[in-house]
Copies of this chain bind each other. A is one copy, B any other.
């Protein structure tokens, strides 16, 4: 923060920052696995595109941001990390209500790698609940700008906990499936993959699934996915930088397929993790 490297306990922002008071910020999260950044370029692309769309500017170049992220990981010592880069609108020294007068701020940090699904859930598959909460529509906020507007997703989570499930999917304005708190979702039916296209973040792990499918010769397409289609799928999995590809074996009160983690899901999970050592998909961090 502000050109300094600090322990996480000291990483704090002003309560007057618009990034806090108005959630006026964009961010991205990349992960480091076994000492290597995974697809960092794609995360930087999305982060810089989001900043531009929100009309934010930083005094750092792309190369400098990459160096800061690398330093955060190296100094933290984490071999498997969850690495955040955040740009906030900042605050105006005069309490002005004009966002053009605020000084945009950059924050980056590395914490231990976290996953949506824990080890047990990765092995048996997650139990997910479809909430009636509607994801904030694109006419309100462009979902391709990765943002912190999560109250709808948090509502979905609480709905899911009330239901007795482990996590949630929320719907779009047409009652099709949208996404969950920090993840996209895929269905597999007769060997073909589908994922929602509207009112969702274009996730990097979601894109990675398309790339892996292409390598494996699997058909994968983005389009509307109804509640019925989701429940009738042979396999379902979610995707997130926080955990990669994670199986779902129960939706609401019914098993997905035969209730076991499916073959296509397993094949994709396997290839996904193999790619983490591939220099075409990852770059090493130099630790001190």
Contact surface of A with B, Cβ cutoff 8 Å: 8-9, 11-16, 18-24, 27, 54-55, 84, 86, 89, 95, 97-100, 107, 109, 111-112, 114, 116, 133-137, 139-141, 145, 147-155, 157-158, 161, 173, 181-182, 242
Contacts and interface: CB of A to CB of B under 8 A. Distances in A.
Contacts of A95: 111-112, 114
19 contacts: A9-B14, A11-B14, A11-B16, A12-B12, A15-B107, A18-B154, A20-B20, A20-B148, A21-B27, A21-B148, A22-B150, A22-B154, A24-B154, A55-B158, A95-B112, A97-B114, A97-B182, A141-B152, A149-B149
- How many copies of this chain does the complex contain? 2
B140 A22 contact: no
Contacts of A112: 95
From A100, A147, A151, A155, residue with most partner B Cβ within 10 Å: A151
Contacts of A89: 154
Contacts of A24: 150-151, 154
A47 B120 CA distance: 39
